[in-house]
Amino acid sequence: MHDLDRDLACGLACDLAWWKRAVIYEVYPRSFQDSNGDGIGDLHGILDRLDYLVDLGVDAVWIAPIYPSPMADFGYDVADYCGIDPIFGVMSDFDLLLEQVHRRGLRLILDFVPNHTSDQHPWFLESRSSRRGNAKRDWYIWRDQPNNWTSNFGGSAWELDEPTGQYYYHSFLKQQPDLNWRNPAVKAAMFDVLRFWLQKGVDGFRVDVMWLMIKDDQFRDNPPNRGYHAGLSSNNRFLPVYNANRPEVHAIVTEMRALIDEFSERVLIGEIYLPLAQLMTYYGKDLTGANLPFNFHLLQCAWSPDAIAQVVGDYYRALPDGAWPNWVLGNHDQPRIASRIGKQQARVAAMLLFTLPGTLTMYYGEEIGMGNVPIAPEQVQDPAEKNEPGIGQGRDPERTPMCWDQSPHAGFTTGVPWLPLGEDSSSVNVAVEQQDAGSILTLYKKLIALRQSHPTLVSGKLDELRVEKNILRFRRRGAEEIEVILNTTQEEMTVQAPSAKVLVGTQIDRDGEAVTGLTTLHAGEGLALLLV
């Protein structure tokens, strides 16, 4: 039994800021829709699929980086923060997309990559041009000798620049030198980037690796990780004490939030992979930090009722007073939920996600049950996998093209897709599932519509979170009471249900059914019940 003595106390969901009641849909632009036959998704492709997103019922579109880039890390190596890479289109394409997003009542969130640039960015080209008399030398992190800090993609995080005889720091690839956020000129330049896009009308930013932006100013060695063993990435050899989550980062996040708040109805989202207590600090003192520090704890937890209840309960209790919760089940860096827990349980995961309080983020393809696609060694694109092959670093399997129909290449492209499609793309696609009343796509639409029509699911109190005989249960209280009962096992279970009406079930054919007393839940079945 979890005692969750907390109420969001925000009134009806319709009175909340848009981002508090939103379902955010992440688009990985290379893989969503190709409009010109080159095998890579683009801005016109996203534009062509906006009506699908409206029909799905989501509120906002978050687009992974589309800036000019050499694509060493597929856009996370930015060469120009105020442009559009030709692979994706031109600035007028973006302007049209933004206009059409807003015309349909949706919001557009961009990825902001502040920790590092491309080594081809003009700032870095100038920084490495000389050691002295160089206005941008201190825009990056240079040292005469490396310490033991390691790259998130394996190996040392320091690269020798032979012409100048110093090492520069890179948290990821050597083609991604880290900016020096202790330099006020860097902060000013990057804040100008934010203003550029905000003045265009974007509705907010997801900030990449927010917790890495500041490094120890004494460059102390990280302590060894006593849990390291063969088979783990070399990045796990040391604990990231001095090159991550430094206390000074919070002042930058607070200033970033203040800039965002100069513009009305915008949102600041932080990518943060940290333990719960540390994650909560990114809401900032008096909630002046990120509006939404991304909550990845469900995404990473074991799929059992006890583990889920622990994660949900611990997170909800840990929220600072007045902080707004958020939940994530998938993204472009993590295995797809249907592969992680199975297609049957992916339906239960969807019901869990859409009945929890706060802001929700879903990843493209989750709504049709896409799974990870096996990538042969010769097909690997991801530099993380290429740097340390065979230990599970690769992110290509969850980045494969969206499956739209039964045509060649699943309607994604008329060319050769940049990553292969799954063997099940002829059945796991939008066109097939739109015609199937029992599909997971139908379930997603019902759940999103349910959330929109029942504000209690967005902002009502969450309580009575408990596990009974391997069944996860909780109740949402607001203007009404809704009980959620989830069978996360592979067995048929009998539960004691209250007198209620089924709002939606994962098996769908039980919608509208009246239940009371002993009720049978099939394996992987969940019910959302309106108490009567």
User: pLDDT for 363-377, tens place per residue?
Assistant: 999 999 999 999 999
Q: Is the pLDDT of residue 112 over 70?
A: yes
Mean pLDDT confidence for 156-179: 98
Residues 399 and 500 in one domain: no
Residues 477 and 424 in one domain: no
**In degrees, to the nearest 5, what angle opens at C-alpha 145 toward C-alphas 222 and 127?**
110
Residues 368 and 509 in one domain: no
Domain closes at, from 398, 422, 447: 447
Residues 397 and 485 in one domain: no
pLDDT for 232: 87
Residues 432 and 283 in one domain: yes
In a domain, residue 471? The reply is yes
In a domain, residue 230? The reply is yes
> Where does the pLDDT of residue 11 fall: very low under 50, low under 70, confident under 90, or very high at 90 and above?
very low
> Where does the pLDDT of residue 508 fall: very low under 50, low under 70, confident under 90, or very high at 90 and above?
confident
> Where does the pLDDT of residue 7 fall: very low under 50, low under 70, confident under 90, or very high at 90 and above?
low
Interacting residues of 423 by C-beta distance below 8 A, sequence separation 6+: none
The percent of the chain in helix, strand and coil, each rounded to the nearest 5, is 30, 20, 50
pLDDT for 2: 43
Residues 443 and 466 in one domain: no
Domain closes at, from 387, 422, 447: 447
> Where does the pLDDT of residue 1 fall: very low under 50, low under 70, confident under 90, or very high at 90 and above?
very low
In a domain, residue 455? The reply is no
> Where does the pLDDT of residue 231 fall: very low under 50, low under 70, confident under 90, or very high at 90 and above?
confident
Residues 242 and 280 in one domain: yes
Q: What is the CATH number of the domain that holds 501?
A: 2.60.40.1180
pLDDT for 10: 45
In a domain, residue 369? The reply is yes
pLDDT for 230: 84
Mean pLDDT confidence for 342-348: 96
Q: Does residue 113 or residue 231 have the better pLDDT?
A: 113
Please write the tens of the pLDDT for every residue from 244-302.
Answer: 999 999 999 999 999 999 999 999 999 999 999 999 999 999 999 999 999 999 999 99
Residues 400 and 319 in one domain: yes
In a domain, residue 144? The reply is no
pLDDT for 5: 57
Catalytic center residues: 208, 262
Say how far apart CA 480 and CA 416 lie, in whole Å.
Answer: 51
Please write the tens of the pLDDT for every residue from 472-490.
Answer: 999 999 999 999 999 999 9
Residues 322 and 226 in one domain: yes
Full-model pTM? 0.97
pLDDT for 298: 95
Mean pLDDT confidence for 303-331: 97
Residues 438 and 473 in one domain: no
> What separation in angstroms does the CA of 502 have from each of 485, 509, 528?
11, 10, 6
Mean pLDDT confidence for 388-414: 96
Q: What's the total number of domains in the chain? A: 2
In a domain, residue 260? The reply is yes
Residues 386 and 466 in one domain: no
In a domain, residue 184? The reply is no
- Looking at the chain, the whole-number percentage of residues with pLDDT higher than 90 is 94
Q: Is the pLDDT of residue 46 over 50?
A: yes
Say how far apart CA 527 and CA 532 lie, in whole Å.
Answer: 15
pLDDT for 532: 83
Range of the domain at 109: 13-78+89-117+203-447
Q: Is the pLDDT of residue 81 over 80?
A: yes
Residues 333 and 476 in one domain: no
Say how far apart CA 121 and CA 113 lie, in whole Å.
Answer: 13
In a domain, residue 466? The reply is yes
